[in-house]
Amino acid sequence: MSARGTALVTGASSGIGAAVAAALVARGYKVYGTSRNPEKVNAPVRGVTYLALDLSDEASIEACAAAAGDVDVLINNAGESQSGPFEELPMDAVRRLFQLNVFGAVRLSQLLLPGMRERRRGRVVMVGSMLASFPLAYRSSYVASKAAIKGFALAARREYAPYGVGITTVEPGSIATGISERRTQYVADGSPFRAAYDTMLAALNRNEANGISAEKVAAKVVSAVEAGRPRPLYAVGSNAPVVFALRRVLSRGAAERMVARRHGLR
Ligand SMILES: NC(=O)c1ccc[n+]([C@@H]2O[C@H](COP(=O)([O-])OP(=O)(O)OC[C@H]3O[C@@H](n4cnc5c(N)ncnc54)[C@H](OP(=O)(O)O)[C@@H]3O)[C@@H](O)[C@H]2O)c1
């Protein structure tokens, strides 16, 4: 084990996960990163050992946890970005999203937390989304999945604090990772929501393209990992400090309108 300990970063084949894995290597951790196809990772991060993980497969989650062994830092980063009008989201797509963004991360955490508790040290970071704090129309399944994983973290952190294990959520805003190209979309033919959906999507893609770098998110994740006592919630990107401050003074309705307008919606 390296002096700093062992970290496992899910979804380390691209974007935020790759940047977090690189930042943890630079900080002296032994780092495992995951991909569904570890042998086909486009630009493997130097110093990272890749493990196979498909969060939609229970056996794969168990095999990954076993292969990683004692993990001190778990970064639940892998995720799917999904969008579509609420009534047009196929239930199998919603279930797949929750399996990946919520249940898979919960299960992996359940497998690794007992060791952290026994060793009396550890960190678990959920990579959420600012959209969970600032819900956006036509992103309901994604917003709900990120709110759900934050809920697990917020409640469970109280169970682990006495054991020196910190659980937290980092909510990124718009980050330029190319995730827009990988977003799954469900809009019915002839959808009455088409025009509003397209308006929202154009703004979303523009915001992502103009977003901050994955490296800035990684720096925030590392600061959460290395905090003596991680805060319940961190946010980075999309002017997070200003936007969260505004949210404290605005009514819920006004905050909702602010988010809608940023995406061209009424
Ligand atoms: N980019 C943004 O603007 C933004 C904003 C807020 C939150 N986030 C969140 O940040 C996280 C990373 O996003 P990103 O922008 O870096 O996206 P990304 O580049 O598309 O990375 C997603 C990662 O998830 C992995 N993955 C996908 N399906 C999987 C599955 N079934 N099992 C296991 N791993 C799977 C992918 O690995 P393989 O394909 O190699 O398996 C990939 O490494 C996500 O949770 C996302 O929701 C992103």
- Decide if 166 contacts 157 (C-beta within 8 A): yes
The whole-number pLDDT of residue 1 equals 52
179 lines ligand 1 (CB under 6 A): yes
- Give the number of the atom of ligand 1 that is nearest the alpha carbon of residue 76: 45
211 lines ligand 1 (CB under 6 A): yes
Nearest-CA residue for ligand 1 atom 46 is: 79
Which active-site residues does the annotation give?
Answer: 142
Instruction: List, for residues 145-184, the tens digit of each pLDDT value.
Output: 999 999 999 999 999 999 999 999 999 999 999 999 999 9
The whole-number pLDDT of residue 3 equals 75
Q: How far away, in angstroms, is 80 Cα from ligand 1 center?
A: 6
Take residue 109 and report the two structure tokens written for it. Answer: 């955490």
d(CA 239, CA 247): 12
Low-confidence stretches of the chain (pLDDT < 50) are none
Helix (H, G, I), strand (E, B) or coil at 131: helix
Q: How far away, in angstroms, is 79 Cα from ligand 1 center?
A: 4
- Give the number of the atom of ligand 1 that is nearest the alpha carbon of residue 78: 24
Q: How far away, in angstroms, is 43 Cα from ligand 1 center?
A: 15
Nearest-CA residue for ligand 1 atom 40 is: 35
To test ligand 1's pocket by mutation, which of 8, 9, 13 has the most ligand atoms within 8 angstroms of CB?
13
Q: Helices marked H in the chain — which ranges? A: 15-26, 58-68, 91-98, 104-119, 130-133, 140-160, 179-182, 194-209, 214-226, 240-249, 252-262
33 lines ligand 1 (CB under 6 A): no
